Chains A and B, each alone.
Chain A
Amino acid sequence: MFRYVLKRLWGGVITLFVVITLSFFMMRLAPGGPFSKDRAYPPEVLRNIEAKYHLDKPVLVQYWIYIKRVVVNFDLGPSTRYSDRSVNELIASGLDFSAKVGAGALLCAVLVGVLSGLLAALNHNKSLDYIPMSLAMVGVSVPDFVLANLLVILFGLQLQILPVAGVDEWQGYILPCVTLGLIYASSIARLTRGGMLEILGQDFIRTARAKGLPKRTVLWKHSLKGGLLPVVSYLGPATAGMLTGSLIVEKVFNIPGLGRFFIDSAINRDYTLAMGSVIVYAVMIIAFNIIVDCLYGVLDPRVTYD
């Protein structure tokens, strides 16, 4: 298992390099630089500023400087937009909010998803099966910003019980987490139901019953592990999806998270901040995928890593 993790980490590093390189050159190749849109600076000032950010040097040199700085110092550089703050600082501040929303959403998705999936599986073909599954079908197809706004209107406007903008108080986190979470909860519910139903139809469940084990034991001890496996594999793409979804949610609910920095920096050609954000996102996705794969191996003893 250890070697597997190492192999994946190495793969992750390579992917990261690809990501950094691609985004670096993508940004550089586009017309305009970080300062081209600003009000006209006198040429000398402009030259100084550009020198500060190494923009006067050839592209490949810039690339090398950047890589060196990131890899050796973990320093993502100074922001070109917010001239007195470093990218690390900015990302950290954005990440603070985004991480909270993300964690909350994940929790919501797993709890709601698994519980409703279990409910549906245990009441196969009865109303407690159809209702959650129909809702799940809706949830899977609804775009996040539509759901977000519906919730905002329902809870913010009509019922007036939850704040809909900003996260000054902890209640402000409820709607964003629920919005992001429910969409993935729908997929998780369907996967849980499918996985559980498949397991419950297997021969070894019959063996467990033949041994006289009470129904509870049969359910929890024998079925859950196998039944939740599809959910575990799904968590990889799900977390990646939640990261992209966070961009929307942060906009709807006005949360000063990483997403806002990312988009604005891309539009404003703030190279360092944009790159930094992409790197952070990429690291998170790669890390989650590795963790999920290892988790899967822990749960299913038949999986071998070569």
Chain B
Amino acid sequence: MDAFLRLLRNKAAVIGMLFVFAMVFAAFVGPAFQQYSYEEEDLDRANNPPTTWDVQKFSEGTGIQLNAADFKKWGGVYWNTKHYLGTDDLGRDMLVRILYGAKISLTVGFLAAVVSLLIGVSVGAVAGYLGGVVDEQIVRLIDTLYSLPYMFFVILLMAIAGRSFYLLFIAIGAVSWLTTARIVRGQVISLKNSEFIEAARSSGTGHFGILAYHLIPNTLGPIIVFFSLLVPRAMLEEAFLSYLGLGVQAPMASWGSLVADAQNYVTIYPWMVVLPGLALTLTLFSLNFIGDGLRDALDPKLRGKQ
């Protein structure tokens, strides 16, 4: 469709898509090509940096013994050829860890966004369609929930219950369904009385049919756009929770937990913190660009709305 072509013209969105695709590919297909597994420890090479100005000085300065054979000089800087992105405190390869974290972060983000979408669309569509008292009550519920300090409940929830992977993305998904519901409800209300719905109704389609086959597909545009912005938001929330220790638990690792693990050593081994953080940030950027691009492509009128 021409919407897709419009999307392709948006350079930022295209770059974003390429990046995300590359990341997803690396995360899910990558392990087949990796030299190391994400748990494999190499204590002799613990805390090795990915690059350094001077191998000697680094060893002297930090007390970490670097294996000079590991490093090749290029462009005035030494690069770690054994572990391209360095190692963590247990000698685990950072590149592998980051890609592993990618898999987890992307999966959780995506699933959480799906959960949010499912809840939001159902509630919103039902509220918008049924109208009347049901709608009123649902709107009131949404407004009350909106004013709650949501994140705190999620934190409580995760702290209490939370060593479950499934609970994580349900909890995150449950945070953002409110806005989805509102948007879907608005769309349904505005479409509810259009002609094609009347046609469907008069040809005998039941309520569920109308909802499922007519209304929802026609709200798909804004929903897709919203979904594409939900994913980065969910990923951010997951990173937030994992950073606080309430998200994914060892032995799993996500970008958030990787940063948290190394937080105390940030001034000594900055790469352990910077690299996962960078991966997360770039992925979020890319997803946001894609989302903006989708929004502009599918409906230029949506610009400016959130």
Contacts and interface: CB of A to CB of B under 8 A. Distances in A.
A141 B266 contact: no
Contact of A149 (B149, B153, B259): B259
**Chain B interface secondary structure, helix, strand, loop or mixed?**
helix
B157 A285 contact: no
Nearest to A140: B288
B159 A267 contact: yes
Interface string A233-274: 000000010011001100110000000001100110100001
Interface in B4-53: none
A149 B266 contact: yes
B273 interface: yes
A263 B244 contact: yes
Interface string A186-212: 000000001000000000000000000
Interface residues of B, number: 38
B118 to A, nearest CB: 23
Give the contact-size bracket for chain A. 35 or more
Contact of A143 (B148, B152, B270, B280): B280
Nearest to B278: A146
B160 A146 contact: no
Q: Which of A141, A157, A281, A282 has the most CB of B within 10 A?
A: A141
Contact of B148 (A18, A138, A149, A164): A18
A287 to B, nearest CB: 12
A26 B160 CA distance: 8
A23 B267 CA distance: 38
Contact of A266 (B156, B259, B285, B304): B156
A141 B288 contact: yes
Contacts of B263: 145, 149, 251-252
Contacts of B130: none
- 5 closest pairs, A vs B, by CB? A266-B159, A146-B277, A30-B160, A244-B151, A157-B267
26 contacts: A19-B148, A23-B156, A26-B157, A26-B160, A27-B160, A30-B160, A30-B161, A141-B232, A141-B284, A143-B239, A143-B240, A145-B277, A149-B270, A157-B266, A243-B149, A247-B244, A251-B263, A262-B155, A263-B155, A263-B245, A266-B155, A266-B160, A267-B159, A269-B160, A274-B156, A282-B149
Interface of B: 144, 147-149, 151-153, 155-157, 159-161, 232, 236, 239-240, 243-246, 256, 259-260, 263, 266-267, 270, 273-274, 277-278, 280-281, 284-285, 288, 304
